[in-house]
Amino acid sequence: MHSTITPQQAKALLETQNALFVDIREPDEYAREHIAGSRLAPLSVLSSLPEDPDQDRPAVFFCHSGRRTQNSVALLEARGFKEIYLMEGGLSGWKAAGLPLVSVKRPLPINRQIQMAAGTIILLSLLLSLVSPVFLWITAFAGAGLFLAGLTGVCLMGQLLMRMPWNAKDKGKAG
């Protein structure tokens, strides 16, 4: 069984009962912003993680907004903690309550940069095709590039974006 608690109640639980804060977001999200002392257990791999050694401590699970946490209750309950709490509003609720966060300024994840760049190229070339149909070739080229990236696992746009100045300073950092 689980209970939903407010961020303020979660903080009190941390202070009074040494609750374990479990962040189920993905590593890139955690690297940008997290609650100090929280444990990262990404939802995408949670079922394959070993049993937690601190199952006797109350566990407060959270994601960004609380939606992933609510949608994954059965998986979270299967982790074997005696007491399970879901933090209302997730990390956004914690932030809105004015509670402290560890924040690191980092560029968007490369997959999101690729999506934005490809979407922009396709949209602009389609709009420009209203002026001249030759611009449809750019749309076809972008689509072919995305298809080949999916087929081969090699994304030339991603390689190009990784060389951009805003990503170059992030090389070698985990997350």
**Catalytic residue list contains 63:** yes
- Per-residue pLDDT tens for 14-69? 999 999 999 999 998 899 899 999 999 999 998 888 888 899 999 999 999 999 99
CA distance linking residue 59 with residue 24, whole number of Å: 12
* pLDDT tens digits for range 65-83: 999 999 999 999 989 898 9
For tokens 């960004």, the residue is: 64
On the 0-12 / 13-18 / 19+ scale of CB atoms within 10 A, 163 is: exposed
Find, among 71, 100, 69, the residue nearest to 85 by Cα.
69
- Active-site option among 13, 59, 60, 63: 63
Tell me how far apart the alpha carbons of residues 115 and 97 are, in angstroms, rounded to a whole number.
32
